């Protein structure tokens, strides 16, 4: 089994044709799914991420931690 979803699996998830790569990329971007397009433009989605997201969680390292507020230290006078 591949580390990435196949075109048929991704099309079934999204509800588009397996050859409609632009539709897939648009859906994934709008719904915050991480993907990496290959040389043909097919959006490669990690099977591990898919399985975790469908189970209601995300895999370790997928969440991006953000600071509560920006770091303004560069504007402080020295």
With 0-12 CB in 10 A as exposed, 13-18 as middle and 19+ as buried, what is 24? buried
Is 62 part of any domain?
no
Q: Which domain holds residue 51?
A: 1-57
CATH number at residue 5: 1.10.1660
Is 8 part of any domain?
yes
Number of neighbouring beta carbons within 10 Å of residue 21: 19
Per-residue pLDDT of 38-70, as tens digits, reads 999 999 999 999 999 999 887 554 444 555 777
**What pTM was estimated for this model as a whole?**
0.70
CA distances from 28 to 35, 45, 67, 72, 74 (A): 7, 9, 25, 33, 36
Is 22 part of any domain?
yes
Is 70 part of any domain?
no
């Amino acid at each position: 089994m591949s580390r990435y979803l196949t075109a048929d699996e991704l099309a079934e998830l999204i509800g588009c044709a397996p050859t409609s790569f632009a539709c897939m990329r648009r859906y994934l971007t709008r719904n915050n799914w991480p993907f990496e397009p290959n040389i043909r433009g097919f959006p490669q989605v990690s099977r591990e991420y898919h399985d975790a997201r469908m189970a209601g969680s995300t895999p370790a390292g997928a969440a991006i931690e953000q600071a509560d507020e920006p770091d303004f230290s560069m504007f402080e006078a020295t």
